[in-house]
Structure 1
């Protein structure tokens, strides 16, 4: 009887340990799928600032940069990093995996993307839905919001999904990584325009702003 008691106690403790490491990661709650939007704010801001500094360096020095007058380029403009704009979205895949989306380009041409899924998520206390498209091995969201044409580029912004934060049923969408297309800075580039369904009614004050850089 005593042996059974010790066995049950040990089993109970083992279950608690498994549950802890299944649902917690360093004190942060995680979803059962392993995707988690919560980050340590200070570390996250530092990492994002570093990436933005690296992008400024690319824009200023690289031959493939769209910036025409690099000598007067003082860096891109951004909203302050805000972890609340990093969300877990539920994916609604298309039953027909062969569905395509013909996307209009800024120069009047067209480009064909694969329709990957709709991403459903909550932002600012409201539910939203955006189409995720795929081109080669890149999963993207092309979108507009209430800042478009005001604080951000009128033609819309892009978000690329990290394959390491993408499963069959969920994805991390980080609006802090939203960026302007090259055609925002150089008319010689042709850029895909967001589909009509990808216009958010809210102001997404995260990611790259828009200031003309000749």
Structure 2
């Protein structure tokens, strides 16, 4: 009887361990993209729309806004919030932390950024890979283009900001609903970084800020 009980306890413990590995890191050390990137769609939509309202208020009223004629500003254009564009990515940091990349600016000048890591993920069943760079002020960002560029979104590409504390592990969440246009999209007096060629996605990212040419 005792032997049977011990065997049953062992089987239960093994099953619990295997279930934990399957749910938390797929048995490979990489967390499941469905577990940590998943959100309540209703609450998420409200949060995204709230952030967009705040940005519109900023663009309409703040002296640092790139909008020249604020009296005619009616709000930025956006794709509807979509949690499907909130994806989990695997981080592949550079072994050589001193690697740099020269980024061209919209005014023809150049800036030097540090190469931090590549973010590898799947979007619309396509394998995607984006370079994360660190600016001289210490901020992390992704400068990218996709199949909507020059069509539904700004031709010069869009940006994603990443928090430093979200890059400390081997995984991070990339939320394309937060993708935004550079200031030069709204005011040519600004010089903005142009995404490196490698950061051109093969898919149409219908998330984040849209763009429409103004007279």
Structure 2: distance between partners of 1:178 and 1:187: 20
- 2:121 paired residue number: 121
Matched, 1:108 2:104: no
User: What is the CA-CA distance between 1:179 and the residue it aligns to?
Assistant: 0.2
Question: Structure 1 unaligned runs (5+)?
Answer: 25-29
Q: How many residues matched?
A: 209
**Do the aligned partners of 1:73 and 1:213 also contact (CA within 8 Å) in 2?**
no
Moved more, 159-168 or 46-55: 159-168
User: What is the CA-CA distance between 1:213 and the residue it aligns to?
Assistant: 5.7
**Do the aligned partners of 2:60 and 2:73 also contact (CA within 8 Å) in 1?**
yes
- 2:131 paired residue number: 131
Structure 1: distance between partners of 2:36 and 2:214: 36
Structure 2: distance between partners of 1:199 and 1:59: 28
Any idea what the Cα deviations from partners look like across 1:124-148, whole Å, max 9, x if unmatched?
Answer: 0110111110113311100011111
Secondary structure class of the residue paired with 1:197? helix
TM-score scaled by length of structure 1: 0.85
Supply the RMSD in Å over aligned alpha carbons: 3.0
Question: Structure 2 unaligned runs (5+)?
Answer: 25-29
User: What is the CA-CA distance between 1:97 and the residue it aligns to?
Assistant: 0.5
**Do the aligned partners of 1:76 and 1:211 also contact (CA within 8 Å) in 2?**
no
Q: Which runs of 4+ in 1 moved over 2 A?
A: 30-33, 162-168, 211-214
Secondary structure class of the residue paired with 2:198? coil
Matched, 1:59 2:27: no
TM-score scaled by length of structure 2: 0.85
**Do the aligned partners of 1:86 and 1:175 also contact (CA within 8 Å) in 2?**
yes
**Do the aligned partners of 2:140 and 2:161 also contact (CA within 8 Å) in 1?**
yes
User: What is the CA-CA distance between 1:171 and the residue it aligns to?
Assistant: 1.3
